[in-house]
Structure 1
């Protein structure tokens, strides 16, 4: 393990300021990558739409963007109570009549949740 001493003079303070300046943009980049409201690309929307159909979401839920008119589960269109975290939880764990899709890759669940939240508006 290496130990570094930071001098108490001007150079030490300048070093900390430089470190802070470098760390702020990096933190912002991570925040935007995790932003649940970030818009999906056209390719991501298409993949999310396809996953919605391929996994049978359209047979139970209503989502106009996916041309889905199911009536068993809640309608997603205009539903302000549905956010990304809720969709990820329901798809991963299921609840009531909603089965778990935990066998899906977590990245695919994340994309599907992002698609539903973006398309339901």
Structure 2
């Protein structure tokens, strides 16, 4: 009596096993897909512009929205379309204001110039 398994149980177990395997495979693709794409895209994007690389490396996008660099923060102002002058951006990066910290002691003058040039150019597109 215990040795005999009905066809319905075997089919049910096989179907359930197949569903679990498909779900696991789908989940693995969903988890690895975007991460792999981001890992592959980031070096290309960063290599394309030294200013973009600084923006990404210093996590400016955690506070500021800037489409070109993938920034989507909402603490600081949105930079896309803001039409900022290089002099204004240089001053803000160097001295900070409000929630914006000063980076004058953390970035070199050349890095500040590179970042300000990039942000100003992107904000005027």
TM-score per shorter chain, which class? 0.5 to 0.7
Match of 1:56 in 2: 59
- Richer in helix (by share): 2
Query: Structure 2: any 5+ residue segments left out of the alignment?
Result: 1-45
How many pairs does the alignment contain? 79
1:12-56 deviation line (CA, Å, top 9, x unaligned): xxxxxxxxxxxxxxxxxxxxxxxxxxxxxxx98621111001112
Match of 2:101 in 1: 99
Flag the structure with larger Rg: 2
Per the alignment, in what secondary structure is the counterpart of residue 49 of structure 2? helix
Cα distance change of structure 1 residues 101 and 55 upon mapping to structure 2, 3 Å threshold: same
Query: Structure 1: any 5+ residue segments left out of the alignment?
Result: 1-42
Match of 1:85 in 2: 87
1:68-89 deviation line (CA, Å, top 9, x unaligned): 1110000110012x11101100
8 Å Cα contact 2:47/2:53 also seen in 1 = no
Q: How does the TM-score come out when normalised to structure 1?
A: 0.60
Cα distance change of structure 1 residues 45 and 101 upon mapping to structure 2, 3 Å threshold: farther
Cα distance in 2 for partners of 1:86, 1:45 equals: 24
Question: Following TM superposition, where does structure 1 have runs of at least 4 consecutive aligned residues deviating by more than 3 angstroms?
Answer: none
Q: How does the TM-score come out when normalised to structure 2?
A: 0.59
